[in-house]
Structure 1
Amino acid sequence: VDQVIRRYVHGQEAIDILKACHNRPTGGHHGLNNTAKKVFDSGFYWPTIYRDAHDLVKSCDACQRQGKILQRDEMPQNSIQVCKNFDVWGIDFIGPFSSSRGNKYVLVVVDYLLKWVKAKALPTNDGRVVCKFLKSLFTRFGTPRAIISDRETHFYNDQFVKVMLKYSVTHRLATAYHPQTSRQVEVSNCGLKRILERTVGENRASWTDKLDDALWTFRTAFKTPIRNSWNLKTYAKGFVLQSLLPQLHLGIIYPNLID
């Protein structure tokens, strides 16, 4: 077709030329079309070159290991689970801190969809206080589909298992080879701890009293990924302290409130 005179080869010589154009450093293990084209460019031809190139590429170990996987040969994918508000919670402890009103730890839970954070100051970090906290959480937000935690003993014990079975909640454990499982709660821990440290200042013993303020700050902060605050996403309303509003505005809205 291209009016170029090429040498006709056949048999083992043709296979050797094909392998050289495919396997050698200048071959690059290309597909059948590029491999056949390289044979043509080298000045050789035989009628079954495309079929032979196809068979060679198909049987090439390097190509099969590194090549693209066809959709029919892919591993089956898990379907995306539909997740609603408060369906999945991550749970973790922060601490120990210096004692404050008898408390040394903060138990933090975060909803994986809304990123809503709830925390409680506790004197210990054993399984008993965890189960008590979860029961309180379930009565307020409903029973979730799953709780995600690490493998520490306060989350991995018989009492915890009984609570999960009682409320039909799946307990998912983060593993050393996939720590991203509990990544969300760890991010919240860092943010809450940073706010607490800056709020408490030098008076370290007051962190229990400042925990609610830190939570309020954390929930109402504007978050770029969701382009809103977590409080607004959760309750569909802003969260403003009335003391922050100018008295002039209050006088306009409620004339009888201010003399």
Structure 2
Amino acid sequence: MGNPISKILSRHVPTLRRTQRGATIIDEIHKGSCGLHSGSRTVTERIKRLGYYWPRMYADTAERIRVCQECQLHAPVSRAPQHPMVPITLPWTFCKWAIDIVGPFPKGAGNAEYLVVAIDFFTKWVEAKPCAPSPVSRSEIFSGKPLYAGSEYLTKLSATTDNAQCEVTNRDIVHAIKAMLGMKRSRWVDELPKVIWAYRTTHKNNTGETLFSLVYGSKAVIPAEITVPTEGILSYSEGENDERLYTNLNYVEGRREMVAIREATNKQRIAKYYDKRVRARTYKVGDLVWRDNQASRVQNTGKLGPNWEGPYKVIGISNTEAYKLAELKGNPIKRTWHAIALKKCYM
């Protein structure tokens, strides 16, 4: 017995075979004078509402729309991760720094308009120094020379322009400066030391410690503990305090090891969640692909510019995620392209 719904529909609606007539209807509703380049589900529903029907209508519509050149060129760029996360942990303090420039700010003391922020990867210790506009190139600022950064460690150890490491810190610093200044925005240079000190003495959930205690081994005393004395302040003894400082310095390495273990555990948990969303894309030699226009800048990248450009043919694979491309005429593209900047082309 056949499908009863198909029998009922065949009596009351015109039935079309998989011929050019069905393709004409799909094209007209999808990209005709009344089309919006909608998806296959929306187009199929409009076809049904107009009174048309044929077997495999959903499949035919999806196949027809998948090869639409305009839809492929302007399709959104997927931000889903392409490969698993590789957590990186550092073995000791101050072995690697991340540097970023924040600004421009309103002109402050010393004509300062920018803020150079350096963060230690392990302890998250922050060094920040305001600076004026300078003809020094960006590469020289990040070369490890002590041009602006306030820590001598940057002259001896590696530094990287890892913006992701600095973004959260930059946001917190700028938010605190704005909240402290009110309308006196040119005084941001004067408020910066207070903000940095507050950041260094704030407890961090990912490490379970403050930045100050990880670096110096002891808890910093903040003004609030002096204004309203705590038990530690009331029982303060200079001799006992010095002895405790020496003891804390002996234990600081053990505390740092515990922080390293805690941080590695957190990173493994984050990587596990991240890897669930990985949508790897692989291509074979001979496949046709589109290239991300934001990366190649071949076409106009304005408001009405395409998100993708091409197509190109895959002519070689340098590793599992980098591909050598060529134009359809056979002219090779000079460099290889990562899979994250490519998308399969349907013709």
Which structure would you say has the larger Rg?
1
The normalised TM-score by structure 2 is 0.38
